[in-house]
Each structure stands twice: as structure tokens, then as C-alpha cells.
Structure 1
Amino acid sequence: MTVDGALARVIRSAADRAATAGTERCDLCAAVLADGHPHLYDTDAAELRCVCRACSVLFASEEAGRYRLVPRRRLRLPPVDTAVLGVPVGLVFFVPHRDGSVSAQGPSPAGAMRWEVDAAAWRQLAGTVEQLASMAPDVEALLVNTVRGLDEHWIVPVDDCYRMIALVRREWRGLSGGGYVWSAVEQFFKELTERS
């Protein structure tokens, strides 16, 4: 290969990288992702992975190993008395895990706050609300919003919960959050209604 040919290839490669900079790619195969792409939960790393539709099909089965496909179910529930879970926060989500543990996370200006929830209390609550017993471990959450007089309870994919945490972190101003963060949270819940 000539020096000119090698230089042209490097220039093309740099141009291709620049053109696709900011383009989101599949974490498994590097394909360009469409808006609204699926997610996988990596059980080993306890993280979400952005994936293309083709890769998501590979992991749709429960026997797919360390990756679990995040479902798209959004189900609004009647009010649920979550006081038994002992988390004194009005905007929080609860995630049951395969090992029987349950975690609660809530947004803050610094990101997610996390608590461990008494597993027996969760089982007691799930015994009274049948939809909670049907939740897919690690990838679905009970999302609760009782802030500012609201009383919303949803079963949602965990990626919705992480979007909510990012929204609060991005919009928070000052000590109390400022006026815009709460209207943004209200809009987030309106969009859940539209997507369900």
C-alpha cells in the first residue's frame, strides 16, 4: 500500500468517526441505534446496555445468560400503600431482584439514592397487590410518585426509572429543586400515561 493510500484511509476513517460522533451504538455489536431502542440488563455488571433490535432478539429468552431483555410493559396501578416498605421518599422506585432482595432508589441532585428494602415486607405487599407478584426481577420496577399531592403508582421498565433519575438531576436547581424540576416530573408521568 502506498503512503498516499494509507493516508487517504486514515482521513476517511477520521471523517467517518466524526460523522458518527454523537450517534448512539449498540453495546454488543456497535450497530447504529434508532431512537427508542431496546435495553438489556447485564446481571454481572448490574448495568443497562443499549442494544439494537437484532441483538435484543438474541436475549429475549429467560435462558439467555447474563443479559435480560428489559420489557416494555407500563401498567398504572391503583394507589399502593408502600409505607410497609419503610422508604420515606415521595418519588422512588422499587426493584425486586432474582436473589429475593429488593432495592429502592430515588432521584437526587447528585444522582440515585439507594436503599435495601426488607424482603419480607416486599413479599407481604406483593401478596396484597397481585400485579407486583408478576414483576420481572431486575428489569421491572414499582415506580411511586406521591410528591406535591400526587398518588401515582406504576409498574415500568427499569430504563424508565433511570430516565426519571437523569431528568431530576438535570433539572434540579438550588436546595429544594426549584420550580421547573417538579413540572418536569409531572410531564414525565403524563408521558408514561401516553406510552402505556
Structure 2
Amino acid sequence: MTTDGALARLIRSSAERTAEPEAERCDLCAAPVLDGHPHLYDTADDQVCCVCGPCSVLFADGGTGDGRYRLVPRRRIRLDRVDTDVLGVPVGLVFFVPRADGTVTAEGPSPAGAMRWEIDADAWQRLAAACPELAAMEPDVEALLVNTVHGNDHHWIVPVDDCYRMIAVVRREWRGLSGGGRIWPAVEQFFDGLTERP
């Protein structure tokens, strides 16, 4: 083997090692977490935290946490079309989160992260009266996720961490000022990967 070949292999091996992502850890106890691990929603900081299985048990059924941390549920429900036009949000890729204080927010992806609007709570209540699944959503931790861009008609009740995964997909694929051509195939792939679960 030539010295050049060994050096190239060493450089490639080093690059592969540094490119490997660091293992995710529980935000509470720092234990490693597996793919598909549970999440907590931190109501004070308005963010999702990774949590290991044993720590998640502490927050099941409204357990510990004094209301600050809420276990993010796993259920996903595909809905028939929901007329979200009545909520006045001018974008087709958006999620709506009813909050424990009675407010409702809408969030949509952008290259900088999520854009947020406050929705008229009365309009949301009228929509929820017409769609009982919306009335049964858990505040702060479940969302109505909608994609009507390019003729799509996706309407889902999902855990809020799914919504943040969708935002991450858009941020990862965004190119230039207009976003480029990679975003929408990636968003379609994201929605194709959603499956119903109780």
C-alpha cells in the first residue's frame, strides 16, 4: 500500500469520525437516549426536551413537574379537511397549538425557525365545535398540523415534537432567499412518513 493511500484512508477515517453526531442525552439526567425517545414540553421556556424512558415515567399522567413539564403524547390522527382559513393564517404549511391559558398559536417554518401568530380564540372554538377531535387535543403538547401547499390536503393531530421536526426539515433544506427546490420534496417526504397511532 502506498503512503498516499494510507494517508487518504486516515484522513477519510478521521473525517467520518468527526462527522458522526454525538449521542443524544436526557435533558434531565444526562443518560443516553434511544431513537424514538419520549419528549417533555417545558411550558416555562416554550421548548421540547429530550427525556429517557425512566425519567418520562415521572411525568406520565400529570405526575411530577408542578405543571412546568408536560409529557408529549405519541398519538397521531389523520383528519378529513379542516377549514383553517377561518383562523386567518396566510400560509399553507402551519401548525396550531391550543394553550393551557386558553390562547391558540399558529406557527409556520421559515429559514430562521418558527414564525408565530396568535389566533383568535373564539374562531378556534368555533372550528373545534365543528371538529370534535380538535376539542379533545391536549393543550401545549398536541397540534393541528396542516399542509395545503401545492394542492396538498394534509390535516393531522400530532405531538408537538412532530411539528418541530417538520420545522427542522425546512431549515435543513432551505437555500437562498426563496428556499430553493429541495424544500417541498422534503416536506412531502415528511408527511408521507407520518402514520396514525393511538
Q: TM-score range by the shorter chain?
A: 0.7 to 0.9
**Which stretches in structure 1 are left out of the alignment for 5+ residues?**
1-17
| Equivalent in the alignment of 2:22 | 22
CA deviations on 1:66-121 (whole Å, 9 max, x unpaired) are 11100001100000000111101000000000000000000011111100000010
| Equivalent in the alignment of 1:122 | 124
Query: Which is worse superposed, 113-122 or 170-179?
Result: 170-179
Query: Which is worse superposed, 133-142 or 177-186?
Result: 177-186
CA deviations on 1:13-68 (whole Å, 9 max, x unpaired) are xxxxx9xx812111111111111110001112211110000000100122532111
Offset of 1:182 from its aligned partner?
0.3
CA deviations on 1:133-185 (whole Å, 9 max, x unpaired) are 01000000000000011011000000000010011011011233222110000
Q: Distance in 2 between matches of 1:145 and 1:56?
A: 30
Which contiguous aligned blocks of 4+ residues in structure 1 show a shift greater than 4 angstroms? none
Normalising by structure 2, we get a TM-score of 0.86
Q: Distance in 1 between matches of 2:34 and 2:195?
A: 23
Identity over aligned residues, as a percent?
A: 72
| Equivalent in the alignment of 1:52 | 52
Q: Distance in 2 between matches of 1:43 and 1:93?
A: 17
2:96 corresponds, among 91, 94, 97, to: 94
What SS does the aligned partner of 1:48 have? strand
What SS does the aligned partner of 1:178 have? coil
| Equivalent in the alignment of 1:38 | 38
Judging changes above 3 Å, is the alpha-carbon distance between structure 1 residues 132 and 195 closer, same or farther for their aligned structure 2 residues?
closer
Q: What is the number of equivalent residue pairs in this alignment? A: 178
**Which stretches in structure 2 are left out of the alignment for 5+ residues?**
1-17
| Equivalent in the alignment of 2:165 | 163
Normalising by structure 1, we get a TM-score of 0.86
